[in-house]
């Protein structure tokens, strides 16, 4: 159900104290003024909004909005030489836009009073009010932390053609909790998609939300690389099986701690493995392979004890360097495939 932001006040005009022929009010209406007939001029809506919070798990965005609607109604006379605040009694007798929010989940009116002003130039009317909205926004986290979400805020005017209803947005684009926020206008396809039958128009804006990726590179992507490199170097530098096993245990504990920390920042309703999880799983697999390699080399070492020590030492060095190079090649292939998937998928 659509909630009306602004409603038509009162009933038909009838006999009023604002008739220009009998009223000495600064703002008056001509005889025969019909409040149900919209003016023929363009109506502009200016929206200043601030993002309160973005709720990823419930797929909602909470906005504080101040909506300023401006339109021209040349039938209204302003006898003064400056802008005049409209008499509240006149609200019932003039045409005002009927605007609906099309995709809000909840609405709260925050301002106590509306401000309606009549300009002396071209009979421009300005109407302002503050609201708190929660808008629905479907989010997909499969590409986390490279995910990008577009949250539309759409409004419909049901008394006027599309060319008479346009918006100008003023928005707060400061970073919110490590996020990048941008705003764009609805494109024509988006307007047509939500349009309903009848003499009306649709306008609004789209809030685009992205993440500061540098944070995830520093705390997750880069440490995984360094831990894997540490495991490979352990193959060359570890003098004994026990030293290697100790290094491997320490690095595995650090990696498991990172996996646990990452699980707390990943949105819980991702339908598939997201990119951060895949990245960490690649490195977990390498750690497991290193552990298997360590066990195999140790078994081979025990089996080779009867042979000459010098011959074993020579083979051991060649095997360790060979495994290090093999791991490095495989790692570059897997990571290269991961990067290509991000860029071209």
- All residues at 6 or more sequence positions from 195 whose CB lies less than 8 Å from its CB, including other chains: 202
Of 136-150, 224-238, 280-294, 302-316, give the range with the top mean pLDDT: 136-150
Which of 58-72, 208-222, 237-251, 273-287 has the lowest average pLDDT? 237-251
Q: Is the pLDDT of residue 211 over 80?
A: yes
CA 218 remoteness from chain centre:
22
In DSSP terms, 166 is beta-bridged to 44
Q: 186: pLDDT confidence band, cut at 50, 70 and 90?
A: confident
Q: What is the pTM of this model?
A: 0.65
pLDDT of amino acid 310: 52
pLDDT of amino acid 261: 82
* 30-57 confidence digits (pLDDT tens): 888 888 887 776 666 677 777 777 888 7
Sign of CA dihedral 263, 267, 268, 274: negative
Q: Is the pLDDT of residue 197 over 60?
A: no
Q: Is the pLDDT of residue 76 over 60?
A: yes
**What mean pLDDT do residues 237-264 have?**
77
Q: What is the 3-state secondary structure (H, E, C) of 130-142?
A: EEEEEEECCCCCC
Contact (CB, 8 A) for 203 and 44: no
d(C-alpha 42, C-alpha 44), whole Å: 6
Pairing of strands 179-185, 201-211: antiparallel
**What mean pLDDT do residues 284-312 have?**
68
pLDDT of amino acid 13: 38
Hunting for tokens 């200016």 — which residue is that? Answer: 46
218 vs 43, higher pLDDT: 218
pLDDT of amino acid 94: 81
Mean pLDDT of the chain, nearest integer: 72
pLDDT of amino acid 162: 45
In DSSP terms, 69 is beta-bridged to 45, 127
Helix (H) or strand (E) holding 86: none
Contact (CB, 8 A) for 78 and 132: no
306 vs 328, higher pLDDT: 328
d(C-alpha 64, C-alpha 77), whole Å: 34
Q: Is the pLDDT of residue 141 over 80?
A: yes
Indicate the SS3 state at residue 175. Answer: coil
Q: Name which of 157, 24, 134, 131 is nearest 79 in CA terms.
A: 24
305 vs 18, higher pLDDT: 18
Which of 6-20, 51-65, 175-189, 209-223 has the lowest average pLDDT? 6-20
d(C-alpha 36, C-alpha 342), whole Å: 55
Q: Is the pLDDT of residue 10 over 50?
A: no
Q: Is the pLDDT of residue 174 over 50?
A: yes
Contact (CB, 8 A) for 150 and 103: no
pLDDT of amino acid 301: 66
Q: Which domains does the chain have, with CATH numbers?
A: 18-211 (2.70.170.10), 214-301+318-344 (1.20.58)
In 77-161, DSSP assigns E strands to 77-78, 84-85, 99-101, 104-109, 115-118, 124-136, 149-157
Which of 76-80, 116-120, 139-143, 276-280 has the lowest average pLDDT? 116-120
pLDDT of amino acid 284: 82
pLDDT of amino acid 14: 41
């Amino acid at each position: 159900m659509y909630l009306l932001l602004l409603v038509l006040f009162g009933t038909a005009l009838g006999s009023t104290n604002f008739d220009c022929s009998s009223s000495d009010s600064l703002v008056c209406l001509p005889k025969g003024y019909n409040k149900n007939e919209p003016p023929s001029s363009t109506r502009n809506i200016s929206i200043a909004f601030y993002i309160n919070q973005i709720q990823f798990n419930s797929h909602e965005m909470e906005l504080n909005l101040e909506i300023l609607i401006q339109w021209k109604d040349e039938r209204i006379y302003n006898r003064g030489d400056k802008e005049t605040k409209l008499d509240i009694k006149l609200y019932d007798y003039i045409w005002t836009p009927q605007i609906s929010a099309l995709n809000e989940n909840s609405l709260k009116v925050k301002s106590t009073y509306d401000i309606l002003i009549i300009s002396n130039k071209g009979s421009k009317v300005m109407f302002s009010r503050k609201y708190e909205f929660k808008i629905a926004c479907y989010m997909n986290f499969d590409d986390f932390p490279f995910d990008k979400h577009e949250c539309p805020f759409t409004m419909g005017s049901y008394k006027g053609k599309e060319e008479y209803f346009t918006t100008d947005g003023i928005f707060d684009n400061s970073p919110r909790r490590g996020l990048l926020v941008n705003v764009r206008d609805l494109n024509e396809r988006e307007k047509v998609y939500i349009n309903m039958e009848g003499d009306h128009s649709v306008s609004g804006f789209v809030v685009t939300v992205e993440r500061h990726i540098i944070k995830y590179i520093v705390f997750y992507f880069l440490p995984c690389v360094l831990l894997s490199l540490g495991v490979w170097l352990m193959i060359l530098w570890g003098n004994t099986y026990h030293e290697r096993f100790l290094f491997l245990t320490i690095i595995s504990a650090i990696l498991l701690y990172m996996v646990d920390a990452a699980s707390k920042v990943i949105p819980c309703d991702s339908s598939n493995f997201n990119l951060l999880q895949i990245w960490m799983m690649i490195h977990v697999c390498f750690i497991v392979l290193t552990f298997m390699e360590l066990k195999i080399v140790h078994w081979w070492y025990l089996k080779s004890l009867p042979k000459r020590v010098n011959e074993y030492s020579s083979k051991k060095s060649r095997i360790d360097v060979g495994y290090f190079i093999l791991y490095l090649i495989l790692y570059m292939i897997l990571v290269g495939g991961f990067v290509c998937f991000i860029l071209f998928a």
